[in-house]
Structure 1
């Protein structure tokens, strides 16, 4: 399959991955929530809220207060005294993050119920006022808010008393706010006396970290405000809420003059600041009158004592008192430093994943690896930098990190598709190219693409050059189509032989073929491979010619030259084309040896370098030949197998005549004439007889033609 088609089909795979990621993102499983929460936590760690003086203070039932006054729960008269002092100090609202669900055990009635006392002592206690009643009287004349604990169990009590008005604008918020089936409520007497009552309950995330505070909860399918909402309402002396919601969820809650945007669940994302000592006042200081001025402040009464177990995990790391979570939520409302997780945030995140995923997938499929990777990194960086800027500049909670993970997965899928396409294309090119270029060269270049660069290296190689006798005249006598068909059939067989011997096709020029051994992959036996290849080509060529002659088709004999030597091999095609070949004198020598066959009447000539490396192959000497354009003579041999009429074993008659020729004996002429007469097919014997008859002597002769 072509690369383009594979990439096109791979695009469907990438799209399926993207759609699967979108589905996971919309289903919002726990791992996705954890990643998103971790991103928002990191934002706050990098830039926590700057603490600003706000009319919110915590009266802390801390360890020192418990040591000075006694263990909790304190007597309700002691708590009433503290409320009176706070009211006198001008507190705007006194809010208890403490549940008064049971009667005061120090009340006279409780002492009488739990102890057997003398009659006169019992009568005296019965005449004393009840502590809870005293506390209720203080609550009635003070601007106080009590807390209740929303429960998952329906066995708890029902919704607390409604002390407020409610205006609903839009769809009901009940399906969206945190839902509970029951509530642990304060004593009825206290609940009726307080100006407000709100849910103290948090809904931590799966990792136990409190990141949001509800403004409203659902208790047995009835809306009830949280402790934060009631603190804001009572402190403003207003009697109602306005909740604006739609089918997508809660959008805003109005409390008096405050307009508070919320998450779709009606919760506030708490923007935490670092711990501030000035935020808290020990309870003992309120009781002894040493507390700082508190006029106009919302007072949150709660505990940081570890034994009372109201401690929470913070996004900033570490543990903070639950009452501080409420206080920080109030601070950010009153200082207008709210975090904003808008209703359209999810749509932005989904569209980012969809559109950027499509873009990144296309880029990864179309562009090379490095540019696409750079663009991917740049895109992901810009997205997350934009989300961080939104948090810093606008306190916007936008999670583009989780979509970025999806983008990386889409990019990875596209990269896999492209890699598979490249591999398939590589295999296709290898298979197709190997039909025209040596398979060993193709495999070598696939494994070592750096060899495609310009340049070469020196190494020992062997060469086989072939040519067809009279090919030009044959072309003239036949139609081009017929001649080309014959030539292609011939070349296919010759190249196949070369490839079987693991030779490298150097070049084809018309009917001539140049084959190289020991490059690009070194071969220790390259001389033997070259000679074996040449002998097989010779056998094929003679058989091919014979079969064509039987069909009445004329085809010339193949001349072959074989030589070995030191050459430079590499890519010499310039910067615009790849042309892997060898350069050096041995290449020219091999070409001259091939041409020598035409002058001396042989079909295969090999150099002494080949003969010395292949002693097992019987050969007969041709002579010391001074090739055209060469200054030094080359000792040339003819393998006996390549003779027109092969001789079994050694060619002793020829060798005897050659020894006379080599010695300069005058009897050499008669010996070659006699041998030529006996062997009219022996072109080499006839060549020597002719040159001796012309007056030459010795085994050395000059090649007058290329």
Structure 2
């Protein structure tokens, strides 16, 4: 199993986390809560802020009843005859249409002296006469409920619409914003106007106006918006054509004369806002003062509204900040007249669901199969791809595709799955650390957990070094010792011997009674494993001598430690099958190290190191023992007795050994002289005995283990 993956059982249960996250996401997408919509709209607003609709001089102007106009003409509401003069002055400029984003629901109760002589209705009559001259559209209000006490003037029964509707593809009424009542203009004004349209906006959950309805439902009756009606009158159309995608698909588009306007299912036009432009505005006081140029409004759609702070007709824009409500109508008309499109077709939610599911599956698969960094990179790349695709769709095709929901969905899958994988990995690492802490040093366990690629538990061939230790004659010693005392002494001894091995990053291969086998360069390869093994053996030897001396001072006998060290190629891996974990090495090098440990009792030494190990330890001091033919082997192994760090080279012994190596007759007297000087030197006694027995050369046969 790859270190970065889970066990098959854990993986099966682990998939429940991303699958549950995906199911939760699908339910959330189906419910489409306000928070999710707000995030989606925030992304659409960001697109508009990065790329607002280009400024193009469209034939749309706003006659603005601004604060300066109120200061010059008087506070609002102006007398009806004053408004009539404004309409007449605009008509004189020959616009295509004048649309009044103002409601005239009540009769004018303020009259000049002249109007008093003519009767209270005179100002309204002047307004009616002005409207009758043509090309003026009035705005009316909409109410979600009908007030039982509302006066007749505020009922929609007498709402006089000037155009009909042709429905294609099904009845759209069920999909339109429903209203129960209208707040209408005076009946005579309605009759005189060329058209009427609803001034109603339907802001989103965050209060921002992103769409303008082209058609609404008034108690089951289709009515146009102010911008739609202004466009109809301007192009001279007699009816609207509303095309729907069947009785269950909602509105697709609205035809107004030559213009086909794509809408959402509710019949609303998405507005791609341009930056506010002062050239779009003409203050009302300029019109009343006759300060317009001859062609300034000719053939244009003129919207009359207010930007004055006190009149409260202000709206939140996707571009940030507040704009007058009349500008929303103007921006909608500019978008149509310039041929610019911003749309969110009915198939986009399905596309977003597909993108979300595919993204979640990919992210879930990455989080389940890859490490945290790799899956995080994959998540970031997928999120970036989705976001970039949505941005490019907006930039080049005017499509509003939601990048937030897929990215949130992928995050909803990525985060808990990654956390689950992290917890699984932590639990697995704790198990590994617990298991391997019995086999290798703690710092090596930490290294493996941090670098799992360094751990390969499958069997493989590689070169390793081995240190075998055993207590000389300890079995006989234990027969005369209290069992509890013997166990305590051995445990103290083994604890320190294993600790020494771990200090050199050795792996505990096995413990058999009082014997210890240590392996180097497995499972993690160590370039200097021979030197580690040699230093480990020397430190074990130094400890065992001190331990024997310490116990001797207490009157407790304890055995000397014999140590064998050898290096060679072996097979390493887990040889315990599925039932048990047994990580060890098998091969001739292991057996040779064990034989070298046993050879010490025939040689009289306590440490025996092979040339295979010593040759990879430059600078190490050692006395040659000879070429040993070990029990069960046909070849010879050159061996040495290593000297502790800091010891002086044994030049006298080295010179005498060279005589043995060269088969010289002077070898015997040389060792006799050495024996006289150092009678307790085991190697000197070994070679002296061999030479006196007639042996020549450095080959030594050890037929016993």
Aligned residues: 561
Equivalent in the alignment of 2:177: 178
Q: Measured at CA, do residues 340 and 590 of structure 1 come closer, stay the same or move farther in structure 2, by a change above 3 Å?
A: same
SS in 1 for 2:208: coil
**C-alpha deviation, 1:168, in angstroms:** 1.6
**C-alpha deviation, 1:325, in angstroms:** 0.7
Equivalent in the alignment of 1:14: 18
1:39 lines up with 2:39 in the alignment: no
Give a deviation string over 1:411-449, Cα, whole Å, max 9, x none: 2333334434434443454456567x3374663334553
Q: Alignment partner for residue 445 of structure 2, among 429, 443, 446?
A: 443
Give a deviation string over 1:224-257, Cα, whole Å, max 9, x none: 2111111111212222111112312111111122
Q: Alignment partner for residue 350 of structure 1, among 340, 349, 353?
A: 353
**C-alpha deviation, 1:501, in angstroms:** 5.3
SS in 2 for 1:59: strand
Alignment partners' CA distance in 2, 1:705 and 1:506: 31
Contact 2:101 2:199 in 1 (8 A): yes
1:98 lines up with 2:97 in the alignment: no
Alignment partners' CA distance in 1, 2:249 and 2:143: 26
TM-score, normalization: structure 2? 0.68
Give a deviation string over 1:386-419, Cα, whole Å, max 9, x none: 1111111111111123311211222233333443
SS in 2 for 1:40: helix
Q: Alignment partner for residue 318 of structure 1, among 305, 318, 321?
A: 321
Q: Measured at CA, do residues 93 and 444 of structure 1 come closer, stay the same or move farther in structure 2, by a change above 3 Å?
A: closer
SS in 2 for 1:248: coil
Equivalent in the alignment of 2:632: none
Q: Alignment partner for residue 361 of structure 1, among 339, 360, 364?
A: 364
Equivalent in the alignment of 2:190: 191
Describe how 1:305-454 pairs up with structure 2 within 5 A.
305-430=308-433, 437-438=439-440, 440=442, 443-449=445-451, 452=454
Alignment partners' CA distance in 2, 1:92 and 1:149: 24
Equivalent in the alignment of 1:548: none
Alignment partners' CA distance in 1, 2:422 and 2:92: 77
**C-alpha deviation, 1:314, in angstroms:** 0.9
Q: Measured at CA, do residues 365 and 8 of structure 1 come closer, stay the same or move farther in structure 2, by a change above 3 Å?
A: same
Equivalent in the alignment of 2:240: 241
Bigger mean CA deviation after superposition, 365-374 or 263-272: 365-374
Alignment partners' CA distance in 2, 1:498 and 1:336: 86
Equivalent in the alignment of 1:265: 266
Q: Measured at CA, do residues 383 and 167 of structure 1 come closer, stay the same or move farther in structure 2, by a change above 3 Å?
A: same
**C-alpha deviation, 1:375, in angstroms:** 3.1
Equivalent in the alignment of 1:139: 131
CA-atom RMSD, angstroms? Answer: 4.9
Contact 1:464 1:560 in 2 (8 A): no
SS in 2 for 1:175: helix
Alignment partners' CA distance in 2, 1:260 and 1:199: 18
Give a deviation string over 1:657-688, Cα, whole Å, max 9, x none: xxxxx9989xx99xxxxxxxxxxxxxx99x99
Give a deviation string over 1:16-55, Cα, whole Å, max 9, x none: 2112112212211111111111111111111111121222
Q: Alignment partner for residue 70 of structure 1, among 65, 69, 74?
A: 74
Equivalent in the alignment of 2:254: 253
Equivalent in the alignment of 2:288: 287
Contact 2:367 2:417 in 1 (8 A): yes
Which structure 2 segments of 5+ residues have no match?
A: 457-465, 474-489, 521-530, 549-558, 575-582, 586-591, 609-621, 627-638, 646-673, 693-697
Bigger mean CA deviation after superposition, 144-153 or 266-275: 144-153
Equivalent in the alignment of 1:542: none
Which structure 1 segments of 5+ residues have no match?
A: 112-120, 455-461, 470-492, 536-557, 582-587, 608-623, 636-661, 670-683, 697-701
**C-alpha deviation, 1:329, in angstroms:** 0.5
Q: Measured at CA, do residues 151 and 499 of structure 1 come closer, stay the same or move farther in structure 2, by a change above 3 Å?
A: farther
Equivalent in the alignment of 1:220: 219
Equivalent in the alignment of 1:208: 207
Describe how 1:162-177 pairs up with structure 2 within 5 A.
162-177=161-176
TM-score, normalization: structure 1? 0.68
Q: Measured at CA, do residues 633 and 370 of structure 1 come closer, stay the same or move farther in structure 2, by a change above 3 Å?
A: closer
